[in-house]
Amino acid sequence: MTLEWMAWTLPTAIFFITIGMILISMTVWEVLSPTIERKGFLPISTTRGDRLFIGLLGSAYIHLAWIGLTDITLWAGFVIALVWMAVAMRWG
């Protein structure tokens, strides 16, 4: 029996390290300044953690749609996903 290992590339490592750092930062922020649920443009009351999750999930869908529907460089999709994340976190 042979084990197949995932081939970690630098971009993959950077992605997961970034997500980990975001989660650690959000945890520290929550401990230092507990959040209050608020209602933004999203149809539900959300906390910072909720908006982070919604922003990350939306960004993943934006990337998947970009890859599946266009031939334009993924960097343009990344910019749109980054804008979505900022909007969801600020006004979501």
Quick one: pLDDT band at residue 9, thresholds 50, 70, 90? confident
Assess whether pLDDT exceeds 90 at residue 69.
yes
Domain boundaries, the chain: 10-91
SS3 48: helix
- What contacts 64, CB < 8 A, 6 or more positions away? none
Based on the number of CB atoms within 10 Å of its own CB, is 78 exposed (0-12), middle (13-18) or buried (19 or more)?
A: middle
Assess whether pLDDT exceeds 70 at residue 3.
no
Tens digits of residue pLDDT in 25-51 = 999 999 999 988 989 888 889 999 999
Residue whose tokens read 């749609």: 65
